[in-house]
Amino acid sequence: MNYKRLFVKNGCIFITMVTNNRIPILINNIENIAQSYLDVSRIYSFELIAYSVQNDHLHCIIRPKEIREYPKIVKSFKYSVTKKVGLVNPTYSRIWQNRYWEHTLRDEEDLNRHIDYVHYNPVKHNLVKNVKDWKYSSFHKFVEQNLYDINWGTNEDIQKIIDLDFE
């Protein structure tokens, strides 16, 4: 199957990566994930706008300096995490599903909806009752920047994203 990717200069990309067979290993390897992000950011120039790591998948929004490099960023990240987890002869398909979901964000409204979705995702998956209680996301960085109230995620806040499913 041929995939067509949209490469918009200076664009942002929403990405979902899921573990193979949804094995719940990501939170137990959160340090490896953080280190892999740092390693990949030394090779490729990109801004990590928002992220949320769950047990079996993660969501992130990135803005690559060179938009055509985002598939390489994803591949390098998956490979790095796999290698750090300690598998012999690592291939990222042993930990990760071969593919990933990506969506080129069209405008500021689309970006904001996806940021909300990223931060609300742990509540959606019943990992916590409140967005503020999940420590494996960029939510608290957004609170520090006064982009969210610490109690964001009430029924009123999520009406715009409750029916979205980006997994």
pTM, whole model, 2 decimals?
0.88
CA distance 90 to 80: 9
Per domain, the residue ranges of the chain are 13-158
- Domain 13-158: CATH architecture, name and number where available: 2-Layer Sandwich (3.30)
- Residue 117 above 90 pLDDT? yes
Catalytic positions are: 136
Q: What is the mean pLDDT of residues 134-159?
A: 88
Q: Where are the alpha helices (DSSP H) in 67-167?
A: 70-85, 108-124, 139-144, 155-158
- Is residue 120's pLDDT more than 90? yes
Contact criterion met (CB below 8 Å) for 109 and 97: no
